[in-house]
């Protein structure tokens, strides 16, 4: 399978691996780029467990006795590792979002550039797909998805257009969905359709809920001093990661003592997110929106 170069490869693995004899987890294996780099940093005693729910990723498995590839969604991180007797690890890496391979496979329906069936499933074995979201969800539910996951101000109008159209004919392809909004000015279409597709994709794959579950489990299984390295690609993901690394929560405020202090979950390796340089963005356009954050478990 053809996968593009992983984003922020050297920086992310530099942040992650501090003990060559340690146990590490790559929860987003994809083309295996990050995993291969991690293995280069490990001794014969080190171990790497990688996760990917996409069956295509299994074709990239690495023949190395230190390596185990687990065909699971990373929301099952803790229990999956327990099967192998692993209860504590030295570092966890997550490169979030859709892989370049999934975007390039037109029939998967992730890309706004290709006409394909409405699918967008990262795990092709699951029943919920984009077609069901677009054709079966109530108008109010659709509006909420576009507003919260796509950050689209005209969410209610979009939902109304979809519900009106599907009364006479089901919406089955990405092109049919896009045609409903042909009134959007050409100079705004790229961003608009990217937001629409993002919203539907997040709903299909429950991406934000899955991310929350993974982050909470990561904190539980990281050893003190262990590192959590996360690369995110849109503000919804990054906001969750940033808040979790700051105070171990996704919303609300932590309890403070009489001096205003609270127990921190992590120490930040860098106070600001690391972003790719211009050379990497030119080589890989997907890197343009990437933000890397690293926390050290206290």
Beta-carbon-side half-sphere exposure of residue 264 (alpha carbons within 13 Å): 14
* C-alpha span between 147 and 201 (Å, rounded): 14
67 is in an annotated binding site: no
Q: Which residues contact 127 (CB under 8 A, 6 or more apart)?
A: none
Going along the chain from its start, the domains and CATH numbers come out as 9-100+208-297 (3.40.50.150), 108-206 (1.10.150.170)
Interatomic CA distance for residues 2 and 56, integer angstroms: 10
For residues 77 and 221, the answer to whether their CB atoms sit within 8 Å is yes
**CA 48 to centroid of chain Cα atoms:** 20
Which residues, including other chains, have CB under 8 Å from residue 258's CB and lie 6 or more apart?
A: none
Q: Three-class SS of residue 107?
A: helix
Neighbours of 133 (CB within 10 A): 20
Give the pLDDT confidence score for residue 102 in this predicted structure. 57
pLDDT the model gives residue 55: 83
Q: Residue 56 annotated as binding?
A: no
Confirm or deny that 32 is annotated as ligand binding. Answer: yes
| pLDDT reported for residue 104 | 55
The answer to whether 33 is annotated as binding is yes
| 3-state SS class at 24 | strand
Tokens encoding 164: 């009106």
Q: What is the pLDDT of residue 138?
A: 98
pLDDT of the residue at 112: 85
Q: What is the pLDDT of residue 105?
A: 67
Cα→Cα distances 29→50, 52, 92, 136, 169, Å: 6, 6, 12, 32, 39
The pTM score is 0.92
Strand ranges in the chain using DSSP code E only, listed in sequence order = 23-26, 47-51, 67-70, 89-95, 222-232, 266-268, 291-297
How many other C-beta atoms are found inside a 10 Å radius of the C-beta of residue 156?
16
Judge whether 150 is annotated as a binding position. no
Rg (CA), the chain: 20
Segments of the chain scoring below 70 in pLDDT: 1-4, 99-107
């Amino acid at each position: 399978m053809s996968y593009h170069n992983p984003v922020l490869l050297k920086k992310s693995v530099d942040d992650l691996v501090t003990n060559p004899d340690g146990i590490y987890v790559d929860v987003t294996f994809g083309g295996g780029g990050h995993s291969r780099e991690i293995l280069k940093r490990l001794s014969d005693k080190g171990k790497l467990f990688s996760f990917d729910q996409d069956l295509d990723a299994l074709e990239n498995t690495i023949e190395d006795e230190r390596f185990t590839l687990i065909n699971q969604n990373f929301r099952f991180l803790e229990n999956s590792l327990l099967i192998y007797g692993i209860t504590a690890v030295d570092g966890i890496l997550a490169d979030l979002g859709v892989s370049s391979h999934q975007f390039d496979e037109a029939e998967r329906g992730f890309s706004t550039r290709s006409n394909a069936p409405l699918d967008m499933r990262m795990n092709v074995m699951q029943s919920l797909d984009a077609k069901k979201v677009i054709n079966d969800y109530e108008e109010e539910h659709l509006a909420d998805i576009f507003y919260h996951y796509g950050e689209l101000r005209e969410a209610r109008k979009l939902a109304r257009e979809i519900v009106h159209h599907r009364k006479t004919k089901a919406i089955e392809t990405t092109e049919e969905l896009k045609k409903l909004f042909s009134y959007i000015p050409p100079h705004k279409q790229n961003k608009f359709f990217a937001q629409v597709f993002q919203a539907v994709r997040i709903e299909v794959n429950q991406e934000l809920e899955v991310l929350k579950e993974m982050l909470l489990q990561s904190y539980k299984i990281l050893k003190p001093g262990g590192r959590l390295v996360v690369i995110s690609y849109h503000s919804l993901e990054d906001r969750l990661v940033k808040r979790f690394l700051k105070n171990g929560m996704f919303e609300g405020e932590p309890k403070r003592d009489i001096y205003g202090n609270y127990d921190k979950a992590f120490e930040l390796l860098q106070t600001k997110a690391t972003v790719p340089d211009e050379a990497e963005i030119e080589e890989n356009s997907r890197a343009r929106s990437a933000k890397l954050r690293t926390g050290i478990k206290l």
